[in-house]
């Protein structure tokens, strides 16, 4: 007698092999039989007409704070995700000294789009070490979850206020290395950092990791070589790569003797040459014994801008400080014709995201004031023509009237046939890994948490990948990169992380706004279509698109729950 028997499904095992009709039996959280199962189960599921696949592995999330107020880590498991890796981009909330809690909260609110009220009311902030943080959440989560150790947290803990604006002294670097080693010994899966110009703290200053020297980065990476850590994650720049970037990525991977994944490629045929230039980092590293992998998102780049958070807007020339102002001062700035015109003049100067300042192309999304509802769905350009004003004037008037809360949507980048062809090529390029969901972050800015069901739908509808290949890229490929023990495949003896879905209909549901965060804050949200069952460690987590009460997730600790990984693969 088995705990569960899933019968008559098309088993797509994660290895890329052709799917086959088979039964899958589960006992004690493990897969114990795959094939024709004659014995019965305490529970039987008829999966005829459905796919039975390994649970999906999402290696780029930011659930570090959400773990305390939402132990389902929604909506990810609804989309078939059974394992998440958090602590990316250097933004962990451990280790932590008590006096730095306020800085970390405000930094996360600014750089990762987590509402400050939610961070204040939903997170206890009562740990100091990385191990204490892991212990606080162990046994409480629905999906399996592992955490990298973040550079900004290490820097703030060791250097305090000097972490912003100064290089580390020899003693401070030594202390960071010791703290990183201690955190990995407690279960941290690796090390993450960022030099992205979009990553600024609540004061508009570069986050702590951006003030590190190349020597500091490589020295910290070297700590991993003699530990059970499995991964490096880093954002070197949001601009073009050159040989200096190639060398830094290579040096980091070689020093750690671990693969390094960098974030992120959104496929756009207009940038095909730049993307190929960035992918050359993998070839460069391989020649020197390193391994560098690019994360690529499976969908066109769609984002929501908002003057309240200021994220991405703060990359415009001269906008970092204005977007860091308190709301009242920001409203006063945008209400003053002379000052706001100066701001607009700055926005037109060269910067990484100057295209954002083509105000006429923005579409008004959600508004909070009833008398502005009639503008939803219209472009700023159309409204400006109707009102007889410039797009910038119209934008400021709407945003001010709506107390900065208006959602503004640039046109999706990369939604044409040429870009889809490029996307297909990237999916099949060994230098790339599909991921970059950012789930748990940018709650009012991005909805890429649905990347897994989006990939399955796009691969099917556009005939870009076989079902078996799409499943492999969501399961075994990321699991092997991170050395996850007994996860990522349907195989006897492996952990029973499974998703049962309708291959003909699986897709993300429509994006909606959900007001369910601590402190009354809201987020972008999406359920899934066609995902009927999700099992995690043998327990049912999702039934017919709804969460159960089970919290069977394993807190993944390096060494115990991982196998050794090296840059050689």
Compute the average pLDDT of residues 452-470. Answer: 98
Most confident of 299-313, 339-353, 550-564: 550-564
| Neighbour tally for 414: CB within 10 Å | 20
* Cβ neighbours of residue 345 closer than 8 Å, sequence gap 6 or more: none
Q: In the structure encoding, which two tokens stand for residue 169, read together?
A: 């002294």
Confidence of residue 54 (pLDDT cuts 50, 70, 90): very high
Confidence of residue 177 (pLDDT cuts 50, 70, 90): very high
Compute the average pLDDT of residues 392-416. Answer: 95
Which of the two residues, 425 and 356, has the higher pLDDT score? 425
Residue 377 has what pLDDT? 95
Residue 261 has what pLDDT? 98
Confidence of residue 299 (pLDDT cuts 50, 70, 90): very high
3-state helix, strand, coil in the chain (%, to 5): 40, 20, 40
Q: Phi-psi category of 318—alpha, beta or left, where left has phi over 0 and alpha has psi -120 to 50? A: left
Compute the average pLDDT of residues 399-427. Answer: 95
C-alpha 68/C-alpha 61 separation (Å) is 15
Compute the average pLDDT of residues 494-518. Answer: 95
Share of the chain above pLDDT 70, in %: 100
Using DSSP, state whether 330 is helix, strand or coil. helix
Residue 11 has what pLDDT? 98
Using DSSP, state whether 555 is helix, strand or coil. strand
Compute the average pLDDT of residues 322-337. Answer: 95
Reply yes or no on whether the pLDDT at 444 is more than 90.
Answer: no
Reply yes or no on whether the pLDDT at 513 is more than 90.
Answer: no
Confidence of residue 204 (pLDDT cuts 50, 70, 90): confident
Residue 303 has what pLDDT? 85
Residue among 143, 144, 132 at smallest CA distance from 93: 132
Q: In the structure encoding, which two tokens stand for residue 316, read together?
A: 């415009």
* Cβ neighbours of residue 167 closer than 8 Å, sequence gap 6 or more: 211, 212, 213, 216
Reply yes or no on whether the pLDDT at 569 is more than 90.
Answer: no
* Mean pLDDT score of the chain: 96
Residue 452 has what pLDDT? 98
Confidence of residue 413 (pLDDT cuts 50, 70, 90): confident
Q: Which residues of 147-164 are buried (b: 16+ CB within 10 A; e: fewer)?
A: bbbbbbbbbbbbbeebbb
Which of the two residues, 82 and 444, has the higher pLDDT score? 82
C-alpha 177/C-alpha 514 separation (Å) is 41
C-alpha 180/C-alpha 95 separation (Å) is 9
DSSP state, residue 410: P
Give burial (CB, 10 Å; 0-12/13-18/19+) of 374: exposed
Residue 446 has what pLDDT? 87
Angle at 288 between CA 287 and CA 293, to 5 degrees: 75
- In Å, how far are 304, 344, 357 from 350, measured between CA atoms? 22, 12, 11
Compute the average pLDDT of residues 456-465. Answer: 98
**Domain 2-53+515-547: CATH class, spelled out:** mainly beta
Give the model confidence (pLDDT) of 372-386 as tens digits. Answer: 999 999 999 999 999
Q: Tokens 């986050």 — which residue?
A: 207
C-alpha 180/C-alpha 94 separation (Å) is 11
Confidence of residue 412 (pLDDT cuts 50, 70, 90): confident
Residue 511 has what pLDDT? 87
Which of the two residues, 350 and 66, has the higher pLDDT score? 66
Task: Decide if 72 contacts 142 (C-beta within 8 A).
Answer: yes
Reply yes or no on whether the pLDDT at 352 is more than 80.
Answer: no
Instruction: Dihedral sign for Cα 74, 78, 79, 85, please.
Output: positive
Compute the average pLDDT of residues 491-506. Answer: 98
C-alpha 193/C-alpha 212 separation (Å) is 10
Question: Which residues of the chain form CATH 2.30.40.10?
Answer: 2-53+515-547
Q: What is the 3-state secondary structure (H, E, C) of 266-320?
A: ECCHHHHHHHHHHHHHHHHHHHCCCCEEEEEECCCECCCECCCCCCCHHHCCCCC
Domain 56-303+413-490 annotated CATH 3.20.20.140:
yes
Angle at 174 between CA 169 and CA 178, to 5 degrees: 145
Angle at 142 between CA 136 and CA 143, to 5 degrees: 100
Compute the average pLDDT of residues 260-285. Answer: 97
| Neighbour tally for 175: CB within 10 Å | 16
Reply yes or no on whether the pLDDT at 317 is more than 80.
Answer: yes
Global confidence as pTM: 0.92
Task: Decide if 13 contacts 489 (C-beta within 8 A).
Answer: yes
Give the model confidence (pLDDT) of 125-154 as tens digits. Answer: 999 999 999 999 999 999 999 999 999 999
Residue among 16, 140, 1, 8 at smallest CA distance from 430: 16
Phi/psi for 192 (5° steps) reads -135, 155
Beta bridge partners of 540: 535
Lowest mean pLDDT among 180-194, 286-300, 314-328: 314-328
- CA 395 to chain CA centroid, Å, is 30
Which of the two residues, 215 and 113, has the higher pLDDT score? 215
DSSP state, residue 511: P
Q: Tokens 């590190």 — which residue?
A: 212
């Amino acid at each position: 007698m088995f705990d569960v028997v899933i019968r008559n499904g098309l088993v797509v095992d994660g290895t890329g092999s052709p799917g086959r009709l088979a039964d899958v039996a589960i006992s004690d959280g493990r897969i114990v039989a795959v094939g024709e199962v004659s014995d019965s189960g305490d529970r039987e599921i008829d999966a005829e007409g459905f796919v039975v696949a390994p649970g999906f592995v999402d290696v780029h999330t930011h659930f570090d704070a959400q773990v305390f107020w939402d132990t389902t880590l929604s909506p990810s498991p609804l989309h078939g995700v059974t394992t998440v890796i958090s602590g990316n981009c250097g933004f962990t909330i451990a280790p932590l000294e008590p006096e730095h809690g306020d800085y970390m909260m405000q930094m996360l609110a600014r750089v990762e789009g987590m509402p400050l009220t939610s961070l204040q009311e939903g997170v206890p902030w009562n740990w100091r070490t990385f191990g204490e943080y892991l212990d606080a959440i162990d046994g409480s989560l629905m999906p399996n979850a592992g955490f990298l150790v973040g550079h900004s947290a290490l820097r703030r803990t060791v250097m305090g206020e000097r972490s912003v604006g100064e290089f580390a002294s020899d003693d401070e670097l030594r202390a960071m290395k010791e703290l990183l080693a201690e955190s990995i010994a407690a279960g941290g899966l690796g090390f993450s950092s960022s030099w992205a110009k979009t990553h600024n703290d609540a004061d508009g200053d570069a986050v702590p990791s951006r003030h590190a020297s190349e020597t500091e980065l490589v020295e910290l990476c070297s700590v991993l070589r003699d530990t059970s850590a499995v991964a490096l994650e880093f954002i070197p720049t949001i601009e073009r790569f050159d040989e200096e970037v190639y060398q830094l990525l290579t040096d980091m991977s070689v020093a750690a003797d671990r693969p390094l994944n960098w974030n992120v490629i959104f496929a756009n045929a207009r940038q095909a040459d730049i993307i190929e230039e960035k992918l050359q980092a993998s070839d460069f590293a391989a020649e020197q014994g390193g391994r560098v992998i690019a994360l690529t998102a499976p969908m066109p780049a769609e984002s929501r801008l908002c003057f309240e958070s200021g994220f991405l807007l703060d990359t415009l020339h001269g906008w970092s400080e204005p977007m860091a102002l308190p709301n009242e001062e920001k409203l006063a700035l945008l209400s003053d014709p002379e000052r706001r015109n100066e701001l607009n003049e700055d926005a037109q100067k060269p910067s990484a995201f100057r295209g954002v300042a083509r105000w006429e192309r923005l579409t008004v999304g959600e508004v909070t004031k009833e008398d502005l509802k009639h503008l939803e769905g219209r472009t700023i350009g159309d409204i400006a023509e109707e009102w007889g004003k410039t797009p910038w004037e119209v934008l400021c008037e709407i945003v001010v009237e709506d107390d900065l809360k208006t959602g503004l949507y640039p046109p999706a980048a990369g939604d044409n046939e040429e870009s889809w062809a490029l996307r297909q090529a990237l999916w099949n390029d060994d230098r790339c890994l599909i991921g970059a969901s950012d789930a748990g972050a940018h709650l009012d800015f991005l909805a890429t948490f649905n990347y897994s069901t989006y990939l399955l739908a796009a691969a099917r509808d556009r005939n870009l990948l076989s079902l078996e290949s799409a499943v492999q890229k969501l399961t075994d490929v990321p699991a092997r990169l991170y050395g996850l023990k007994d996860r990522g495949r349907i195989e006897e003896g492996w952990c029973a992380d499974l998703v049962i879905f309708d291959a003909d209909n699986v897709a993300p549901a429509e994006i909606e706004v959900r007001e369910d965060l601590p402190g009354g804050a809201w987020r972008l949200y999406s359920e899934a279509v066609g995902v009927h069952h999700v099992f995690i460690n043998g327990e049912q987590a999702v039934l017919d698109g709804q969460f159960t009460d089970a919290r069977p997730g394993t807190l993944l600790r390096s060494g115990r729950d991982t196998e050794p990984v090296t840059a050689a693969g």
